[in-house]
Every structure is written in C-alpha cells, then in structure tokens.
Copies of this chain bind each other. A is one copy, B any other.
Amino acid sequence: MAEGQPAKKAKLDVKYELLYWPSMPGRGEFVRLALEASGVPYKDTANQEDNGIQKMLAVLKDTQSHAPVLCPPLLRVHGDDGPLIISQTPNILLYLGDHEPVAPATNDKYLVHQYALTALDLTNEAHNVHHPVAISQYYDDQKPEAVRAAAEFRGERIPKFFGYFDRALTYNKSSSGGDDRGYAYLVGDKVTYADTTVWQVVDGVSFAFPAKVKEMREKGECKELWAFYDGLKKEEWLSSYLESSRRMKYSDGIFRYYKELDV
C-alpha cells in the first residue's frame, strides 16, 4: 500500500457487523451464536453504538448501493471490495459457515444447513403459537386461538422436532467421538452452526414451555438432545457468552412465556 493511503478496513475494526434490533435475542441470536462459536470478533451495532439502530435502518432503506433487503438480521461483511450485505438468517449462517470454522467444507455442509433450517422452521412455529391469526394484531386479540395452537405445538410439534434432533445426534454419535465428551454434535466432531442453531431453539422453547420441557426430561424423552444441550452450555465459549452482557434476556420476541400456553 502506498504511503499516506489509509487502509480501507480502518473504517471498522472488525470484519463482521450484525445489524439487528437492539435489546432482544430474536433472530439475531442465531447469528450471534454462530459468530461466538467461530471465535471471530464482531460488532453488534445496535447494541454497541448509540446510533446503531439508525445504521441498521439506513441499510434497510437503501435500495441503491446494494440489493434491497426485506428485514433484519443483516450481516455486513467489511472487505477490500466494499461491504457485502447478507440477509435472511439461514443465509447469514451459510455465509459464516463458508468463511469461518463453523461448517465443514465437504458435502456435510449441506447437512449442517439442513439441521439449521429445520431448527429455524421450529422457531417460526414457536412464534406462530402466540400469534396464530395475525402478526400485526395483539396477543390478547388471538388468545383463544393461541391456546389451541399451543396444545398442538406441545403435543405434536415439540416431540416431532426434538425427537428428530435426538435421532440426528444419535446417528452422529457413533462416528464422531461423542462418547469421549459424553454428548454428540449434530455433524462431525466440531461445533457447527447446526449445533448453535439447534441449541438456541431448544433454549428458546425451554424458556417458553418450561413445564412441557420438564416433563420430557423427567420421562427420559430425547436423552441425546438434553445431553447435547447441557453439554454445549458448559463449553467455555458458550458459558462465557451466556454470562456476558452480549447475551440478552427473552422478552416479547419469538420465544415468550405465557402460563396459559404451557401447562
């Protein structure tokens, strides 16, 4: 580089910038966890800068300098060729998997994406439980429907998805050295964004439906899943993240606790 020419990357001291709503885990949490697992520095702009939310909104409004984006989370990747904007949660995870050590380079990368997509499907269903009729209307205006939706979610959907993740972990355990750790990862023998994404939806569902999850654990259902969930939580990178201020509390987002929806 010629003398006196400023380094392009001096604009931001980290490569990755998460642009999302502040003060809530939300869909941004799936991105945060993949970034935390990869160990790469990142900026959570709306939570770390005073006017961070304005920066996110500016990207959302901009239809000139990059392809239009519909909604956050967004990942802004700073590089020599200018910033790249990636949106759609599974797409951001895919990008991180292609560029950071949270997915393999083999065909197993499609298995990682598959599990992450399935965990995000369950996330959507968990949201639909408290807003079955209309996203734009209040919970109280669709409470009777939410109670009906929750009955199906607890009775059929949680067992279906958790049972699936349990089978996937069981399948991978024999070939991955999971026995040494006491628990398996979903793909191979390293943490991938499949693990972080499944972990987060299990954590969110456990927050929203604590009685249901307690019952499953007590009945011994999905043992591999709980071994995985508890085991990952104790790994240094995750436990230190969960204790940090970067991890935010659940509130009125995707995963909500309403006593009448649990039981």
Contact = CB atoms under 8 A, between A and B. Distances in A.
B94 A164 contact: no
Interface string A57-89: 000000100011110000000000000101110
A135 interface: yes
Given A94-B94, A167-B63, A70 B124 contact: no
A223 to B, nearest CB: 16
Interface stretch (A28-36, A113-121, A252-260): A113-121
Interface stretch (A126-134, A210-218, A227-235): A126-134
Contacts of A84: 107, 110
Contact of A134 (B114, B152, B170): B152
State how many copies of this chain the complex holds.
2
Contacts of A69: 114
A95 interface: yes
A171 B69 CA distance: 11
B110 A133 contact: no
Contacts of A94: 94, 110, 113
A95 B110 contact: yes
B128 A113 contact: no
B110 A91 contact: yes
Contacts of A110: 84, 86, 91, 94-95
A149 interface: yes
Closest 6 CB pairs of A and B: A134-B152, A88-B117, A68-B167, A88-B114, A132-B132, A70-B164
Interface of A: 63, 67-70, 84, 86-88, 90-91, 94-95, 107, 110-111, 113-114, 117-118, 124, 128, 132-137, 145, 148-149, 151-152, 156, 160-161, 164, 167-168, 170-172, 187
Given A67-B172, A137-B152, A145-B145, 8 more contacts: A63-B167, A67-B187, A70-B164, A86-B114, A88-B114, A95-B110, A132-B145, A136-B156
